[in-house]
Every structure is written in C-alpha cells, then in structure tokens.
Structure 1
C-alpha cells in the first residue's frame, strides 16, 4: 500500500490514493470533511491527542497498583484491568471529540443549552437516586450505565453561561450577571449535597473567569472575591470533609484528617521517588501504597515511573493549550465565541492546576482528575465533548464568510 501511495498508483475508480486524499482534505476541497480539516486548529487537536496518548501510558502505569488495592480473596482484579477499560473509553471519546468539533457554531450552542438543562436535572436527582461511592454520592445510573452528571455539565454550563453573558453586547441592561449567578449558585448547592468540593471550586472559578472576560466591573469582581473567601471559611466551619482536609493539609497527622494527609504525603513520595528520569515503565514500587493511583493521583505515578521531566512535559502541554487559545482569541470579535472558548480552556487549565497541586502537596486532597490523563469513562467522554466544542468555536476559515458557519446571533 505504501508503494502505491508513493508512486501515485491507481486505486478504485482509476484515481490514485494520494489524489483521493487531496480531493477530500486539500485546500480546494469543498466537502464537509475537507472544510473541517482546513478550518480546524490542528495544533489544538494535536495537543489533545498527545494528552490522550500520554494518558493511556499513565493509566497503564497506574493500573497494577489500583488493581492490587481493589483485589481481595474473593475477587482478583487483573493488573491491566483499568488500562484496557480506558482504551475502550478512548475508543468512544475520540469519535465524540471529532464529531462535536465538526458542528456549526449555532448547532453546538443549541446542543450545549439542551445538554445543560438535561445534566442539571440529573444533578438534582443525584441526592435522591444516586450511587454511593467512597463516602460520596456523585453517580447516577446502574452498573455499566453509571455516569457522573457534574462531569458532563461542566462544558455545557460554560457554553450556556457564555451565551447568556454575550447577550450583554446587545443590551447592557439585561441582568446577565444575576442570571448566571443564580444558575451557578444552584449548581454549587447541588454539588455540596453530594458532597463534591473540588467540582464546586471548578464551577465557581470558571464562572468568575467568564465574568472577567465579559467585562464585569472591578468593584463587582472584588465583592465576588470576598464572597468566595467567605464561602471557603463557611465550608471550613460547617462542612466536616472540607475542615478535615484543610486541617490535614495545614497541620499534618496531628489533625483529625490524618487519612487525607496520608494521601497527599504519599502522592508527594511517589512523585519524587523516580527522580529526574524515573525508574522506568512498570518499575515503580512506591505507587502500590498510593490510593487511587489510576485517577486522582496519576500525576504522581507518572513522576515515579517516567520522572519529573515527564511531569514537566504534561504541565507544559496544558500551558500550551491555554496559551494557544488565548492568543487566538486576541483577534476574536464575536462575543459568544470569545467567552465560550475562554471558558472551556479555563476549565482545562483550572482542573489541571488543581490536580497537579494536590499531587505535589500544594493543595489539600480532593477528588479531581487530571484532564485526559486520569482514568474514567464519564470524565473522558465529557472532556472530549468540551475539547470538541473548543475546537468548534476556534475554527477559522480565511476563504469563506464567517456567516456560513452560523456565528450570527440568530438561532
């Protein structure tokens, strides 16, 4: 097949394989696939695929440790159990990412609005019919069909909030901040019922970032910042889990939250056990004492087996993702696109920053996966939807009018 390609040999119908690809993806192509390939930000797509590939390697490294932890005399979990499940989730997620990235902007916006409504209903149902796991009720469904509504709500919430805030460009008297504050407050309330303090921080942080991008006055932002500090203090005073984790982070084993201190201390030990270059794939040993090695603390597993250089590469990839989008948005004049893309990339950046801070001991322990790296079906599919939306909102075509992509206010 390689020889046929290089020689321009004829394929079916008397057309060379190279010519067929150029017809579909070349600059002159007017097919939907060709237009998509020309307009998509291929650097962002490459970063996403690199993170997914690194994630598969990382889950393969963490799977034996988690399999051993969850095995007992009655049920033995195969060492690569979580890796092969993650391969399946990636096989589902990548097509989702690509299909969503091909959507016209107005279709993607409508999908996000409907998705936000559906996920909000599911989130409200979690305290009633949700599934308990590790002392929290965050999942809904049964067996293989279980999913985490808050994961799917994040990208839909961001796009919906961006759309509401963008209406301010048409009429600055619309109470867009009050509307988005009410929606965010409802989500925060439902998340704290689970409880899920980590996701609460992500939703609140992304909402504040969207307000800043939308141009809310500094006085209002200062008031919201003070309210956020008040919320953290209230969580410490009235939310036992938050108080235990903050105490264990600040005071170590002497506090009541010694179990949480063990997790962060062990994560730091695993992270630094491999030194600069790591112990090598599969050679890690300290990871077997680490809880949730395949999910919340997978960044530490990467450090032990592949070294601090690999950890730095992951951090730089997330930084490159954020910087790439922000640079592209400097020339964006559509309010909705600007807000939606800024909010979506902020979610990736905030979530990655929190996860890496927990793994390095810079933040208290909390259930926060590293985007595209950690194991998880709901997380992987939801992140792929978010990345697909980000790619859809950052598409650029220098040859066709922007109106053909549905970027107007109608619809």
Structure 2
C-alpha cells in the first residue's frame, strides 16, 4: 500500500509519483549506512580529539551526523520538488555565490592543516568548494546544452573559462583533488555535448600539467605522490587503514569491537571506509561500493531515453560526482590511490559535505522526475550512440 494514490494532486502526491523512488531509496540506504559507520567510528575520533580542545563524548560525532541528516534530508526533498528552470537558476546563483566565497577565503578563511578551505560561521565551518561542485556541474550543463539550440554558441569556450577560473581558485587553497574531480566531470559533460577527442586530449594534457605544477611547487602534494609510488617516507595513515581492513577480514570484528580504528587518522571522515572494513568486513565494503555503483547505473540507465540535453548533461555530471568521489575515497583507503582528503558521499561525517550532497542529490532527483520517458528523441539517439 502506497502513501499516496495516483489521483492525489497535492504537491507531495505529484512529487511521489514522479520522483525516481529507486534512486531515492539508494540514497536513503547510503545515508543509513553512513549513520552506522559514523557510530562505529565516533568513539575512535572522539578519543583522538579529546584533550586537544575539550572532552568529547564517545558518540559526539554520531549526534552531530544525526543533526546533519535531520537538516539535509528535508533540504534534499525540498530541492527535488523544484522545477527544472528553478534548479537552473539555483545553480547559476549558487555558482556565483560560491566563487565569491572562494575569492574571499584568503581574508575570511581559517587555515587547517596548511590549507585555507573553510569559513567560520558561528561555531561551524563552511567549505565553499563542497557546495560549488553541484552548482558548477549544473551550470556548465546549462552552458554546454545551449549549443544544441544554437550551434554558434561558444559553449565549450565559456564553460572552459569558467572551469579555469574555478580551478585556479581551488588551487590557491590549495586543493588539487577537488580541482581534478571537477575537471574530470567537465570533460565527461563536454564529451557528451560533442567535444572532439583532440580537444579532450589537450584538456587532459593541461590536467597533467596542473598535477606536475603541484608536484614541484607544493611539498605536501609531492610527498603524497612520492609515498604512493615509492612507499618511502611517512606512510602512517595508509598503513593504519590497511591494518584496519586486514583486521576485519571477510565478516568483520563486529559492531564496536574494532581496535585498529583507534590508531586510524580521521576515522570518521577520510578513512571511514577502513572502519567499515574492520567492524563489518570486506563483504560489507563490497556492498557499500555496490550501492554507489547502483546509483550511477540507475541514473545513466534512466538518461538513455532523455530528450533534454540540459537534463542529461546535468544529471550525468551529478551522478559522476557521487561515483568518482566515492571511488577516490575508497581508493585512498585501500592504497589504490595517493592520499587525498575527500569524504565518502553520504557516509563520512561532515556538515558542509553532507548538506552539499543533499543539495546536489535534490537537484538530481528533480531533474530526473517524470511519469514516463519520451520514446523518440534525436538527442537520446545521439547519447545511445556515444555510449
């Protein structure tokens, strides 16, 4: 029995019968997994931080995460009820606001671990780059989709300049990881919009150049890359993450029974995947990875028959953000990628990250709302050919 009848014409009724309930269920499942994972990681995180500022309770971070979920879920549902034109306006205005915040960071920002990425607002820290990601993705989708209405529009140039501006501001923090993530998503969107392989190759070379620049001018970046390729230097973080994963085996030590997590840096954020591995086992890790894969597959499958270029480019980009960010976080925790401070979507503790993901997912749910797909579309045929 459903909550709403098909004849229900209220706002909630129309939303329920047009929203992608499968995608929504996957997001809710990831959020539930996140609460369980933060509960497991919270005692270790609280113990590592207690004494530095004030005494934290064992479940301090779980209580905060529950608060963020309580704020973020209604926010996600509210955004998902917005119309496509409103989503587009929200993204453009949000991109402008986030760029302004990034410009103001050197003056208003607080330095943490050698990087200036956060603005202190009444006892909480706001990270503009987290909110920038979904806003930028939808904005560039709008710019790139304009070429399907007018081929003379310099869509690639305009969006490329915007990418360069955003990338430059992120590198100033410095934050090369977010820069590469956003650039990779833009390349994917541009390819779907018709950018040639030659131009994509040039963008890829530019990305390699940015990484090389970071390697030579940033000791922090060079040390991470050197540790990954040579195994020399301070490998404490990844060693402890691998210890936690080994301790869990296939089925884990059991909820609350993990001990390696107490030596793990950032167990509630960057390395929460290792905590899941220790207490719930490698099978649970594979299940979490499968949930992220299911989100991406669900979105791209639904988009195969989409007739609106803007919707396709925006939704594909938002799904790619979730998938790529999850891949990077899990890759770092398993020593498949160099260390990078990037959260596991919907699972890691964090206010800015979780709320920004809720906004982005709300946009994704809004853009994919429909009662049925159109069966014939030149753009849909083009997308199937590209796939």
TM-score normalised to structure 2 length: 0.94
Q: SS state of the match for residue 146, structure 1?
A: strand
SS at match of 1:138: strand
Q: Which moved more, 1:294-303 or 1:181-190?
A: 181-190
Q: Give the Cα–Cα distance (whole angstroms) in 2 for the partners of residues 73 and 345 of structure 1.
A: 38
Partner of 2:128: 149
2:295 aligned with 1:321: yes
Change (3 A) 1:369 1:399: closer
* Matches for 1:7-406 after TM superposition, within 5 Å: 25-72=4-51, 75-253=54-232, 255=233, 258=234, 261-398=235-372
Deviations 1:275-319 (A, max 9, x none): 000000000000100110000000000000000011001100000
Describe the shift of the 1:364–1:285 C-alpha distance in structure 2 as closer, same or farther (beyond 3 A): same
Q: Deviations over 1:233-253 (max 9, x none)?
A: 222122221111001111123
Please tell me whether Structure 1 or Structure 2 has the larger radius of gyration of its CA atoms: 1
Structural RMSD (CA) = 1.5
Conserved? CA contact 1:62–1:293, under 8 Å = yes
Conserved in 1, the CA contact under 8 Å of 2:176 and 2:211?
no
Task: Give the Cα separation in 2 of the matches to 1:337 and 1:60.
Answer: 37
Runs (4 or more) in structure 1 with deviation over 2 Å come to 141-146
Contact 1:264 1:364 in 2 (8 A): no
Q: How big is the shift at 1:141?
A: 2.6
* Secondary structure of residue in 2 paired with 1:96: helix
CA distance in 2, matches of 1:142, 1:38: 38
What SS does the corresponding residue of 1:140 show, helix, strand or coil? strand
Query: Cα 1:398–1:329, aligned 2, differ >3 Å: closer, same or farther?
Result: closer
Where structure 2 has 5 or more consecutive residues not aligned to the other structure, the ranges are 375-387
Q: 1:144: how far off?
A: 2.5
Contact 2:306–2:373 at 8 Å: present in 1 too? no
Provide the secondary structure at the position in 2 that maps to 1:36.
Answer: helix
Cα distance change, pair 193–30 in 1 and its aligned pair in 2 (3 A)? same
User: Does the Cα contact within 8 Å between 2:84 and 2:366 map onto a contact in 1?
Assistant: yes
Tell me: CA distance 1:165–1:399, structure 2 relative to 1, closer, same or farther (3 Å): closer
CA distance in 2, matches of 1:324, 1:73: 44
Deviates more, 1:370-379 or 1:231-240: 231-240
- Select between 216-225 and 339-348 the one with higher mean Cα deviation: 216-225
Secondary structure at 2:231's aligned position in 1? helix
**8 Å Cα contact 1:97/1:384 also seen in 2:** yes
Distance apart, 1:398 and its partner CA: 3.5
Cα distance in 2 for partners of 1:233, 1:347 equals 24
Whether the 8 Å CA contact 2:118–2:125 is kept in 1: the answer is yes
The answer to whether the Cα contact below 8 Å between 2:110 and 2:117 also exists between their aligned partners in 1 is yes
Structure 1 spans left out of the alignment, 5+ residues: 1-17, 401-411
- Give the secondary-structure state (helix, strand or coil) at the position aligned to 2:167: helix
Are residues 238 and 92 of structure 1, via their aligned partners in 2, closer, same or farther at CA, if it must alter by over 3 Å?
same
TM-score normalised by the chain length of structure 1: 0.88
